Amino acid sequence: MSKALAVRGLAKRYGPVEALAGVDLEVGEGELVGLLGPNGAGKSTLVKIACGLVRQSRGDAEICGLRAGSHEARRRIGYLAELFRFPGWYSADEVLELHQKLNGSAGGANERHELLELVGLADARTRRVEEMSKGMQQRLGVAQALVGSPPLLLLDEPTSALDPVGRRTVRTLLEELRRRGTSVLLNSHLLSEIELVCDRVAILLQGRLVAEGSPAELARARGVEIETDEGTRLFEGKGREDVPELVAELVAAGRKVYGVRVLTSTLEETYLEAVGGATS
């Protein structure tokens, strides 16, 4: 079965700047993949190539087996740009109606109502975009991306302007989308958010994929801390699977074990290690 998104050897140059230098990445059906990396790592470029806004210099990008950027591929994506704006004189409902027409969605008023409810804007249906806060506009952007129930969502910093409540709304929404089987590529700087919702994480640095895996895989074991009657001892390099053996050895040696803690690095630590402190 074709992947929701598949990029192979994807490269992009902007003049002398190499934004992407041969990236391979896949997003499976119903999978939620987080894309991390410092500013200028190539995250937005990858997303833009996937939705046909930018042409790659080499490599392939496919959406559900169709060439990215093609008419049919664009029918299968929902996209929220990092920097976007809707005409200020449109109401929330009219923005969605415009995108329904452009996308050929037959959802009508029901779909619009459902989407606005999903992003917590049901009460702002007739409110003009120019009268909305940045956070409301961003949630409207998410609703716009969902018009026509696309199988793949490409979200570029969808929570950058949201307050904690708004972020939670989007997080809940992402979990709901996963439940429905929608694939999502989530580009975000918020590691905690990625860690909470994503099935898999890919870290980009200078246009290259430097780490990839589930948050649990990336959050590597740092050791096991065991509290005994002699005090607390750290067994570096050991993991969860080593705990029974370590405890058995201590007990066999006559120690009393009061507590065990498996130490893992956080995604943030893994990320910082992967990017080597790069910020842009």
Nearer CB in complex with another protein: 7/226: 7
Q: List beta partners, residue 78.
A: 153
Sites of contact with another protein (CB under 8 A): 14, 48, 51-55, 71-72, 74-75, 77, 79, 81, 83-87, 89, 98-99, 101-104, 141, 144
Q: How far is C-alpha 50 from the geometric centre of its chain's CA atoms? A: 14
Phi and psi torsions of 68, nearest 5°: -60, 135
Smallest separation, CB 231 to another protein (Å): 58
Nearer CB in complex with another protein: 67/101: 101
Nearer CB in complex with another protein: 80/203: 80
Residues with Cβ < 8 Å from 76, sequence gap 6 or more? 63, 64, 66, 150, 151, 152
Smallest separation, CB 70 to another protein (Å): 9
Smallest separation, CB 211 to another protein (Å): 27
Reduced to 3 states (helix: H, G, I; strand: E, B; else coil), residue 161 is coil
Nearer CB in complex with another protein: 93/195: 93
Smallest separation, CB 56 to another protein (Å): 10
Nearer CB in complex with another protein: 76/200: 76
- Let me know: does 12 contact 56? Beta carbons within 8 Å: yes
Smallest separation, CB 140 to another protein (Å): 10
Phi and psi torsions of 152, nearest 5°: -130, 130
- Let me know: does 122 contact 152? Beta carbons within 8 Å: no
Pairing of strands 32-36, 221-228: unpaired
